[in-house]
């Protein structure tokens, strides 16, 4: 029985909606007042559509401007990074050059010390032939 009540409720709901739609169609197409209301709704809809299109165009323009600003910022950041990279590279090269010069000085000092020790410690040894 509950299935019958459900089916009956669906039928009545559909019948009600159909009647409502029919009444609206008759009102809008069959009466002067309905035609005026329909034309008014049509104009309002067109106005709303025009407003929406204007807003979309404004947003597109703003989006393009933001993209240009983003690209300019990106270029600026890349330039700054390149400058910093060059400065860091120069500093690193200078430090490496200083370290290598110090190593060469230490090597030379080691050679001189070795030569001095050889002269002092091994001066009495005969040379090999």
Number of domains in the chain: 1
Confidence (pLDDT) at 128: 66
Question: Mean pLDDT throughout 113-128?
Answer: 78
For residue 45, give the nearest of 37, 57, 34 by alpha carbon. Answer: 37
* Residue 92 falls inside a structural domain: yes
Cα-flanking dihedrals φ and ψ of residue 124, to 5°? -95, -5
- What does the mean pLDDT of the chain come to? 85
Q: Is residue 20 part of a domain?
A: yes
3-state secondary structure the chain: CHHHHHHHHHHHHHHHHHHHHHHHHHHHHHCHHHHHHHHHHHHHHHHHHHHHHHHHHHHHHHHHHHHHHHHHHHHHHHHHHHHHHHHHHHHHHHHHHHHHHHHHHHHHHHHHHHHHHHHHHCCCCCCCC
Domain presence at residue 9: no
Grade residue 40 by pLDDT with cuts at 50, 70 and 90: confident
**Within a domain: residue 10?**
no
SS3 106: helix
Tell me the average pLDDT across 17-31.
79
pLDDT mean over 65-79: 93
> Has residue 127 been placed in a domain?
no
Residue 75 lies in a domain: yes
7, part of any domain: no
Number of H helices, E strands in the chain: 2, 0
- Residue 49 domain flag: yes
CA-based nearest residue to 38, from 26, 49, 50: 26
Q: Is the pTM of this model over 0.85?
A: no
Q: Where in the sequence is the domain holding 88, given as residue range(s)? A: 16-120
């Amino acid at each position: 029985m509950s299935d019958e009540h459900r089916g009956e409720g669906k039928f009545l709901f559909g019948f009600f909606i159909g009647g409502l739609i029919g009444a609206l169609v008759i009102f809008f197409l069959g009466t002067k007042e309905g035609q005026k209301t329909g034309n008014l709704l049509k104009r309002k809809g067109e106005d709303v559509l025009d407003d929406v299109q204007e807003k979309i165009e404004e947003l597109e323009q703003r989006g393009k401007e933001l993209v240009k600003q983003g690209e300019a910022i990106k270029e600026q950041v890349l330039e700054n990074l390149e400058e910093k990279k060059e400065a860091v590279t120069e500093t690193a090269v200078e430090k490496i050059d200083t370290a290598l010069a110090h190593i060469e000085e230490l090597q030379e000092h080691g050679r001189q010390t070795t030569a001095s020790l050889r002269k002092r410690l091994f001066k009495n040894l005969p040379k090999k032939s």
